[in-house]
Amino acid sequence: MMPAPFLLYLGHSADPLAIKTSRGVAMFRPEDCVGEFRHDDCPLTLGLKRMSMAEAVAAGARTLILGIAGAGGKLGAELVADTATALEAGLNVASGLHQRLRDEPRLVALAEARGLKLFDVRDPPPGLAVGKGYERAGNRLLTIGTDCSVGKMVSSLALVRGLRERGVAADFRATGQTGVMIAGEGVAVDAVVADFISGAIEQLSPARSDGGWDVIEGQGSLFHPSFAGVSLGLLHGAQPSALVLCDEPGRAHMRGIPGRALPDLAECLEANLAAARLTSPDVQAVGICLNTSNLAPDEGRRLCAATADSLGLPCTDPVAFGVEPIVEALCPSPSRRSTTASR
């Protein structure tokens, strides 16, 4: 477990999507964040106090979170240098990048000399088995997406919160580096050997009999040529009874692939339902989550209403408008149940 409080790393990043891990930790663990570290050329901020490594240690920080995602998940010379500075200042360091901190001898030596720890949160757990697809008890919801970085993690966490507020047991099952850092546990499924992806998710979300929900964080998209394999493995291992589709309206192309258009929402839903039926024949779509942050609030509400009418499913922006319509579809309130029964 990474010791809190945290200093969140933005570095030289100029792409808002590249800092989604730092942003996610700031959003969902604000009480554990003392500040942000960014270089002068970084135009982004999380709204936290800008600090040097030494200032963060003086303010009580114990771990630097390298909450960025660069091409190929590489550390790079500048990131290694900044990590070394953090260790020299007395900070543990946590990273979700594909290139492991432990594979940099300089960083390992610094950590050992100062009694600090390097946390590579993308390491898959030991002892994974291949998936079997046998029926297992419990309610499982999987968030799916038209593309990468469209809000699957945020939607999943919002749904867990909404279910708990309704008095329904619910647990977030993290499958990406940001989710693992927020939850403190999980499996970064994109680091799992392909044959074991579905098995890893079966292990992450075992059978449950309390009537509650496992809300499983989705990854990638069936329509993204780079990451569809991970998305398919998640669908099969999750055995979801419910799917929630996530989308960011207005994207010009699939992330990282100029010229490749995003799928139509109805087309995306049907493809995911068809794939999920291999291990969950009765799976149903229960809602749509849109990231309308680039729209005016009134425009966002109109788009959600139009999408709900078009697809016949509740549609909302989980950050701007909450997830009550989807929670109501999953677990109708007592007043609605009694009204329905009296008809």
- For residue 258, give both structure tokens: 């100029």
Same domain for 244 and 155, yes or no, is: yes
Same domain for 182 and 42, yes or no, is: no
pLDDT (tens digit, 9 = 90+) per residue, 250-281? 999 999 999 999 999 999 999 999 999 999 99
Using H for helix, E for strand and C for coil, what is the string for 257-302? CCCCCCCCHHHHHHHHHHHHCCCCCCCEEEEEEECCCCCCHHHHHH
Residues 6+ apart with CB under 8 A from 154: 24, 27, 291, 318, 319
- For residue 35, give both structure tokens: 């500040």
For residue 76, tell me if it sits in a domain. Answer: yes
Among 120, 154, 186, identify where a domain stops: 120
Distance CA 222, CA 66 (A): 28
Same domain for 27 and 151, yes or no, is: no
For residue 134, tell me if it sits in a domain. Answer: no
Domain, as residue range, for 184: 139-339
Q: What is the mean pLDDT of residues 13-31?
A: 92
Residue carrying structure tokens 């999380």: 46
For residue 188, tell me if it sits in a domain. Answer: yes
For residue 51, tell me if it sits in a domain. Answer: yes
- For residue 177, give both structure tokens: 């580096």
Q: What is the pTM assigned to this prediction?
A: 0.89
For residue 326, tell me if it sits in a domain. Answer: yes
Q: Is the peptide bond before 125 cis (omega within 30 degrees of 0)?
A: no
pLDDT of 149 > 70? The answer is yes
Could you report how far apart the first and last alpha carbons of the chain are, in Å? 52
Same domain for 293 and 232, yes or no, is: yes
Residue carrying structure tokens 């993690």: 153
What is the chain's mean pLDDT, rounded? 94
When pLDDT is cut at 50, 70 and 90, the band that residue 338 belongs to is: very low
For residue 131, tell me if it sits in a domain. Answer: no
pLDDT of 96 > 60? The answer is yes
For residue 237, tell me if it sits in a domain. Answer: yes
- β pairing state of 213-216 and 139-145: parallel
Same domain for 252 and 291, yes or no, is: yes
27 touches 293 (CB < 8 A): no
CATH number at residue 239: 3.40.50.300
Same domain for 160 and 98, yes or no, is: no
Give the model's pLDDT for residue 225: 96
When pLDDT is cut at 50, 70 and 90, the band that residue 342 belongs to is: very low
Same domain for 197 and 284, yes or no, is: yes
pLDDT of 15 > 70? The answer is yes
Same domain for 39 and 112, yes or no, is: yes
pLDDT (tens digit, 9 = 90+) per residue, 153-197? 999 999 999 999 999 999 999 999 999 999 989 999 999 999 999
Look at 59 and 77; give whichever has higher pLDDT. Answer: 59
R_g of the chain computed on alpha carbons: 21
pLDDT of 75 > 70? The answer is yes
Residues in the chain: 343
CATH number at residue 69: 3.40.50.720
Same domain for 51 and 156, yes or no, is: no
Residue 213: closest CA among 163, 167, 287, 162: 163
Residue 118 three-state SS: strand
Q: Please, which residues bridge with residue 12 across strands?
A: none
Residue 152: closest CA among 61, 255, 53, 76: 255
Residue 6: closest CA among 184, 186, 191: 184
**Furthest CA-CA distance within the chain:** 72
pLDDT (tens digit, 9 = 90+) per residue, 107-141? 999 999 999 999 999 888 889 999 999 999 999 99
Same domain for 30 and 144, yes or no, is: no
Same domain for 333 and 194, yes or no, is: yes
Residues 6+ apart with CB under 8 A from 40: none
Same domain for 94 and 146, yes or no, is: no
Among 120, 148, 167, identify where a domain stops: 120
Distance CA 115, CA 169 (A): 40
Residue 275: closest CA among 312, 316, 326, 223: 223
Give the model's pLDDT for residue 341: 43
For residue 132, tell me if it sits in a domain. Answer: no
pLDDT of 308 > 70? The answer is yes
Residue 113 three-state SS: helix
Give the model's pLDDT for residue 343: 46
pLDDT (tens digit, 9 = 90+) per residue, 204-225? 999 999 999 999 999 999 999 9
Q: How many domains does the chain have?
A: 2
Give the model's pLDDT for residue 76: 85
